[in-house]
Chain A
Amino acid sequence: MGEGPQAGAPRLPVLIVGGGPVGLSLGALLARYGIASRVIEADAAYCQGSRAICISRRSQEILGWVGADRPLNAKGLPWTGGRSYFRNQEVLHFTMPTEPTERFAPMVNIQQYFVEEYVHRAQDRHPGLCTVTWSTRAVATRPMADSVEVDIEGADGRRETLSAQWVVACDGARSAVRDHLGLSLEGTQYDGRYVIVDIEQESSRPVERLAWFDPPSNPGSTVLMHRQPDNVWRVDYQIRDGEDPVEAVRPDQVLPRVQSHLDMIGETAPWKPLWISAYGAKCLSLRSYRHGRVLFAGDAAHLVPIFGVRGLNSGLDDVGNLAWKLALVVDGASSDDLLDTYSSERVHATRENIAYAAKSTEFMAPPNFAFELMRQATLRLACVDPRVQSLINPRQSSQISYPVALPGVGFPGSDGGAALRPGEPAPEARVRTADDRTHLTQYFGGGFTALYFSDTGSIPVAATQLTLSSRQTVASLTTVRVARNGGTDAATVVDFMGEAWHRYGARDGTLYLVRPDGYVLACWSQPDWQAVAVVLGGILKRQALPNLRLQEGSGS
């Protein structure tokens, strides 16, 4: 053991073990909420290799709260669909749901190390709140009565003990913290293995997901291709049954297969390999993502097959769910039971993600002769009968609904009556505002938001901007009136295309209360401001309640 925590030294509110995209994003979002954290990262720098390259619309929204969406969208390559081929014939052309008025593309391709860099830089927006210590690993984790001790070891071998109120393990698939607590992932692992190759090559092809089944270039195999920024192609292909996975990543094995495929699709510019790796599909999860004062997020908590790109994207959703809850608990505004809802909601999301991803995997890497036979039949029939093409669709990641608004919290007065159920994601809409915001979801990610759909009504108790605690931004309520016409002001947006009223199924007077992570918490067919206070009071501790008076705001 190393030096003990210094006597009288203030305990860290939050220690984040692992500075991958999930750990860095959590640190940045906590900083936005005014909560100090320290990130311990074993490596000396951002990750090697492009790794997770497809960032979903939902992840872009969360990275927007972090403050990393601008560089992400300036660098990344947006895309909306893809094509699949059986041998040389196109058997599927799919597009993901998208509207020209949308804030973000359904998917953006970018190397993972850029995401890590942008998120890390975004932490500087809140100076002094998040520090990242590189080349330092957690070597022991000891849960104590009201804190957690973590022994860390620097590159020079020097050890030190840190004490934190909360530890969040974001230390990836081989999580050390998971081992320290004697926990293990449960689930299934598939046999099929894929090789990943990044190559640099100029190309003028549109950005799409491209898949070939049994291509003449690599008979019997499946090849996937994605464009990345800086003229990089990601090429994935399935290795043959019985092929040695170690041999399979040797350049002399890999490069001829890539060359053969580039020849086949007519990409003739000179190219060079950048990175070669391999992966197998796994459906694994911890049973709970909360163990006392230790929480798990990202790959440390769950591993999902990458078909449908739910790996990193689900980790970022963990961050969106956890950050506001942890901020409220650290700040003393909510009881720590709120963190149990992080676990139950995200375990539910993992189950859904695994169900979808397992389906994709059964098609992309058939686990037995039966799925292989059915795929052979489907691909052939798809050439002549488009009705079976949907079976080839890769089922890309989409935002998961939760079963209820927030487990264990009562919602008196929430009479529903609108199109959306509590627990569902609050939809996007293009709106006109008095500032530089262009979309409704730009109001989310800070505190709680009330959306009051009304053309004429003023906000009766004018809860335009209510701060429930002086210290941070999560314990706050912002009310926005969504009008169909008229002018904008600080508390009024205009739904000039009718998207918001339509997607929220609103009638004049409909009131929605939205969680900081953009999920519907409650809705009323007529505004009931006292009920809003009661719902928020159910989430915030009783002592926070006296502040909870919906007074006259200044905006309207």
Chain B
Amino acid sequence: MTDQDLDRCYTALSDALAAVGEEKASLLLATLSLSLIVKESDAKIVLDLIAQAGELART
């Protein structure tokens, strides 16, 4: 993914979160995560990323 595309996706996701509101934001993020997860054939990669996100969220 190019920097520009990443940037576009970042803004689109932020706007989508703002549109549903804070209360529904985690639901949107969970749904999006699942959609991206089923695109990945290697479960190990997904599990590592989940672990990493868990660690980072504690910082």
Contacts and interface: CB of A to CB of B under 8 A. Distances in A.
B7 A390 contact: yes
A380 B58 CA distance: 10
Interface in B1-27: 1, 3, 6-7, 10-11, 13-18, 22, 25
B25 A370 contact: yes
Contacts of B35: none
A374 B59 contact: no
B25 A380 contact: no
B38 interface: no
A359 B17 contact: no
A132 interface: no
Nearest to A374: B14
Nearest to A395: B7
A286 B2 CA distance: 34
Given A380-B59, A384-B56, A369 B22 contact: yes
A312 B20 CA distance: 37
Given A368-B18, A370-B15, A381 B56 contact: yes
B15 A359 contact: no
Contacts of A390: 3, 6-7
Categorize the interface residue count of chain B: 10 to 19
A302 to B, nearest CB: 22
Interface string A336-371: 000000000000000000000001001000001111
B25 A373 contact: yes
A464 interface: no
A377 B13 CA distance: 12
Contacts of B15: 370
A378 B7 CA distance: 11
A391 interface: yes
B41 interface: no
Interface string A379-418: 0110110011011010000000000000000000000000
Contacts of B1: 387
Contact of A378 (B3, B10, B25, B52): B10
Query: Which of B14, B18, B25 counts the most chain A CB atoms within 10 A?
Result: B14
B6 to A, nearest CB: 6
A388 B6 contact: yes
A266 to B, nearest CB: 23
Nearest to B17: A370
B13 to A, nearest CB: 6
A370 B15 CA distance: 7
B52 A384 contact: yes
Contact of A371 (B3, B7, B14, B57): B14
A374 B22 CA distance: 12
Interface residues of A, number: 19
Dominant SS among interface residues on chain B? helix
Nearest to B8: A359
B18 A371 contact: yes
Contacts of B59: 380
Contacts of B10: 374, 378, 391
A390 B56 CA distance: 19
A368 B18 CA distance: 7
Contacts of B52: 384
Contacts of B17: 369-370, 373-374
A362 B17 CA distance: 14
Nearest to B15: A370
Contacts of A383: 56
A177 B59 CA distance: 52
Nearest to A367: B18
A380 B56 contact: yes
Contacts of A388: 6
Nearest to B52: A384
Contacts of B6: 387-388, 390-391
B18 to A, nearest CB: 4
B29 to A, nearest CB: 9
B17 to A, nearest CB: 4
Contacts of A369: 17-18, 22, 25
B59 to A, nearest CB: 6
A550 B22 CA distance: 68
B18 A370 contact: yes
A54 B22 CA distance: 37
Interface string B38-59: 0000000000000010001101
Nearest to B10: A391
B14 A359 contact: no
A359 to B, nearest CB: 7
A359 B56 CA distance: 25
A391 B25 contact: no
A377 B1 CA distance: 18
Nearest to A371: B14
The 4 closest A-B pairs by CB, nearest first: A370-B17, A370-B18, A390-B3, A380-B56
7 contacts: A369-B25, A370-B25, A371-B18, A373-B25, A374-B10, A374-B14, A391-B7
Given A370-B25, A387-B6, 14 more contacts: A359-B11, A362-B11, A368-B18, A370-B14, A370-B16, A371-B18, A373-B17, A373-B25, A374-B13, A374-B14, A377-B56, A381-B56, A390-B7, A391-B6
